[in-house]
Amino acid sequence: MSTKKAFLAALAFLATSAALAAPITVKNNSTSGRSIGLEIKTLSGAWVKSVPSILPGVTDTSNFTQVTIVSIKNNGSDSMCVYVSSAPTLCREQIGGASRQYNHTDGETYVVDKYVDPGCSAAPLGWGTGNICTANTAAASNGASQSLTNAAAGATGTATATCSAGTWSVSAPTCTASLASPVGLFATDGTNASSINTTWGAVAGASSYRLQYRKKGTPGWTDLATPTAASYDWTGVTDESIFEFQVRAESALGSSAWSALDAGNIRPKIAPVFVSQSGIPAKIGTGQSFSYSQIWRNTGSETWSGGPHGTGPDSPGDTSVWGAGFAAFSGSIATGSNTTTSLTATAPTTPGVYQLRRIFWKAGVPYGVASAAASVEVVGPPTCGGVSPSVATTYNANGTVTVSLQGPVSVETAIVKAWGEVSGQDDAKDYPMALNGPNWTATIPVADHLVVGESKINFAARVGNSLFTPVQCASSSVTFQQLPDPVVTLTPTVGSFDAGAGKAGFVAARRDGVFANIKVDLGAFSHLKTDIEFVDPGHADLGVPLNGASAGVDIPARLVESKLVPEVPAWSSQSVIVRVKYADPDAASQNKTWADTISVLVAPSDMQVSATGTVGIPPTVNAQVHAGGSFDTATHGPFLGGIRTIADGAAASGFVAVGSNGEWGASDLDYSRLYRAQLVAVARAVPPEGVTLIKPIEFLSAPFSLPVQLVRSLAATDGTLEEVVRVSWLAPADGGDGFTFDVYRDSTLISSGKSSVELDDIPPVRGQVYSYKVSAKLNTATSPEAQDPGHLPACFAPRVEDALVNGVMQAELVALSRWLQCVGDAVISVAFDGGGAQPVAFQIAAGSDYRHAAIDISGLADGNHTAVFSVGQAGGLLNGDRSQSFSFSINRAGLLPTDVTILHNGKTASDGVLTDSIGRFGIQLQGGSIDFAQPLN
């Protein structure tokens, strides 16, 4: 660089430095007692000043060039504001203990003061297109935010407002149209000759409106105008058609929905309006005529004149109903004027409801809306199809009959006349009929027309209306039935008697009180019910009332419970009035009744019967009738007692009078007939004299059987049999079917369940007397024991041990034996072939068991014979005689042997054989033999 350039540069630098040097003022206005620190930095980046503490109220002023940054430190703990002279009202917050650097501009002054929140005041804010959306904020501190919701009409939106250094800013804005649809759209209807005026309700937030129209009945819409006001006049319209209009609100944000439609039109050329009518009746008679008038108004632009303008029939559009055709107006009728026309109509000949309606005509062409429809009821002369009573027959003298018209036509008033058949028209009465719903009815009391012997009530109906003269239209009648007097039959169920004075008597069962079956005969009226009562003269109930009893059937008649209690003595008498009347109130109105007085005896109370059989010959039964263990003839009445078999009901014993204690006995019992029978004891009540019972009043015991009786004719042999004691007996009953027997010797059972009636016993000791006992069993019952003594003899009686014919068949050899203990002589006799007995006498010597004798039979012829020996014992321990029978043959031709051989012990004997008994020898004969069996001395 040249010296000149260097010099110039130095001058420039000095000039610049001189120009940049400026005072820097920092003032501490803090009232908090806190100091501040200060540092100053130049463009070169060097800190040229550092003041650690500037006390409150102190101002520091410095002069430096090219200062770029001023750093101020808050030495206190509270926030403070730093105000820079370039924005003297803006508080730059500096929190306690912090430093803040400020980009310095020459000439700026810094003032430090107490902290004041630079918040934002409440203010309206807007956002969206054209700031259409608006909302008011509330006052807020610095840095605070608020949510905003649009409050302006015609839009919907939200945003966020933020306070920064006393200024509001808006963020996140949304704003869309939200216009209400216009309401109250109105278009004039024929008010103007060539224009249609439209108006509607203004819409908040709308900047303009879009109005559209179309001809009624067409689909497409056409924009008519976009006014800013809520109305529009459409002018220059010549079309008389009816137009439809719709409108919507619009703004910069969008549009609303379309409004509801409204129709309008210009005033037509011909516009008749029906105003009113008078003189049309609501009801008219067939073929009758009437006059009426109508008023019509001209609202069109054309003036009406007589001739082409008038009214004609409508619905129907001809003269078929009312007969009146086209009727022209008279005079001239300008726009807005009325005209009155007078008309005459004739009702049709057929009754019914008809519509009368007319419409404006011009030259035969209808215009506008027809007159108000008038409904006219056309009625004919009053008639009815019949008069119907509510019943065809009645027997209720106090009842009523409701009479109804059948098929009434054109009836406004109705009267029914009623009279009895007996009295005729002299008895006639008129009864007005009332309309109940669709029916004309009248109620006639039957009693008004009843006389003795009346059988029918007649009716005639007369009808009328306001348009025609009343006429009689129908007649009918009701038969009045005379009910028969009840005919009553009482049939006794237990017993009957003549109570005297023509009064019938009956017996009532104690158990249920029934004394008769009562039957009521009502003749042809058997479908009716009756009430039957049984009372005393004071009308207190003696019998159970029978209400609603059917006719023609037997119904039990019974006394009340209080007359049947056990305290009422048997055969007590009650005088009972039986009264019968019709149960149906209608039938009872004729007062047809039946009554009679009867007498009722109360049978004995239920009794118990007990009975037991006894063992005896014959057996007996002891029985008792009682009530709970006691019996009193005065209370329970007299009784007879008997015994009966259950199987066939046959009498087992005759009836006998029961004692005053209720006891009786039966001893005439046939055990052989009754031993297997089930029996009952029967106590039969004895009614008072003159009382006839349908069947005896009997009370039965529980079934029982006679006890098994002793066996009969028990006998045990008393030494008459040498080998056994024979015990025999008869069954307790003849025949003895079903009995078994147990036999005892003393207390030892020697036979059980035995079915026969004899037993042979060998007792352990001969000569000792034992008691033999026998009991009978039938099923599970056992009789007492019958007993009889018996024994065996101490020894045997002499008896024939053997009898043989000797070898030469001339004598019968007899061997006799006896026990040595038996003493005394024995006498023996013999009889051959049934002939006379001849004694055979011999002595039985002591010391020998056998004796023998030889009986001559030489006089008997050859052939078969029988010898009967009778041995008698005189004295000793034996009782009675014994007999023995032996058969033998004599064949003397057999004694011609051809050879003889002597045998010893069945073999041929050798010579000189000795033997100890002759019985060991035998002789064998060819052609015959002799056998010796007896010992020979």
Give the whole-angstrom CA distance, residue 566 versus residue 756: 55
Q: Is the pTM of this model over 0.85?
A: no
Give the tens place of pLDDT for each residue, 106-163.
Answer: 888 888 877 777 788 999 998 988 888 999 999 988 889 999 998 888 888 999 999 9
pLDDT for res 627: 95
pLDDT for res 873: 59
Average pLDDT rounded to a whole number, residues 785-813: 78
Rounded to the nearest angstrom, the gap between the alpha carbon of residue 343 and the centroid of all alpha carbons in its chain is 74
Of 905 and 777, the structure prediction assigns the larger pLDDT to 777
- Name which of 36-40, 249-253, 922-926 the model is least confident about: 922-926
Integer angstrom CA distances of residue 153 from 126, 174, 248: 13, 15, 15
Give the tens place of pLDDT for each residue, 185-238.
Answer: 999 988 888 899 999 999 998 999 999 999 999 999 999 999 999 999 999 999
| Residues 287 and 383: beta-carbon distance below 8 Å | no
Which amino acid type is present at position 376? Answer: V
- Name which of 321-325, 465-469, 681-685, 823-827 the model is least confident about: 823-827
Reported as type and span, the H/E element at residue 7 is helix 3-20
Q: Is 191 left (phi over 0), alpha (psi -120 to 50) or beta?
A: alpha
pLDDT at 436 > cutoff 50 = yes
SS3 of residue 426 by DSSP = helix
pLDDT for res 510: 95
**Alpha-helix runs per DSSP H in 601-712:** 633-636, 671-674
pLDDT for res 405: 92
- Whole-number percent of the chain with pLDDT over 90: 59
In which band, very low, low, confident or very high, does the pLDDT at 18 lie, cut at 50, 70 and 90?
very low
- Name which of 317-321, 374-378, 599-603, 687-691 the model is least confident about: 317-321
Average pLDDT rounded to a whole number, residues 56-77: 81
In which band, very low, low, confident or very high, does the pLDDT at 845 lie, cut at 50, 70 and 90?
low
pLDDT at 476 > cutoff 90 = yes
- Name which of 332-341, 640-649, 746-755, 854-863 the model is least confident about: 854-863
Average pLDDT rounded to a whole number, residues 590-594: 93
pLDDT at 641 > cutoff 60 = yes
SS3 of residue 311 by DSSP = strand
pLDDT at 12 > cutoff 60 = no
- Whole-number percent of the chain with pLDDT over 70: 89
In which band, very low, low, confident or very high, does the pLDDT at 818 lie, cut at 50, 70 and 90?
low
Give the whole-angstrom CA distance, residue 83 versus residue 89: 7
pLDDT at 893 > cutoff 80 = no
In which band, very low, low, confident or very high, does the pLDDT at 3 lie, cut at 50, 70 and 90?
very low
Report which DSSP code applies to 607. Answer: -
Q: Prior bond to 316 cis, omega within 30? A: yes
Give the whole-angstrom CA distance, residue 894 versus residue 803: 19
Structure tokens at 700: 């039965």
Reported as type and span, the H/E element at residue 813 is strand 811-817
Give the whole-angstrom CA distance, residue 731 versus residue 713: 9
pLDDT for res 875: 47
Structure tokens at 422: 């007996």
Average pLDDT rounded to a whole number, residues 387-416: 92
Give the tens place of pLDDT for each residue, 460-469.
Answer: 999 999 898 8
Give the whole-angstrom CA distance, residue 726 versus residue 880: 15
Of 230 and 65, the structure prediction assigns the larger pLDDT to 230
Question: Whole-number mean pLDDT of the chain?
Answer: 87
Q: What is the largest CA-CA distance in the chain?
A: 235
Integer angstrom CA distances of residue 742 from 364, 439, 713, 785, 922: 143, 103, 16, 9, 54
Rounded to the nearest angstrom, the gap between the alpha carbon of residue 285 and the centroid of all alpha carbons in its chain is 63
Nearest to 317 by CA among 351, 274, 270, 364: 364
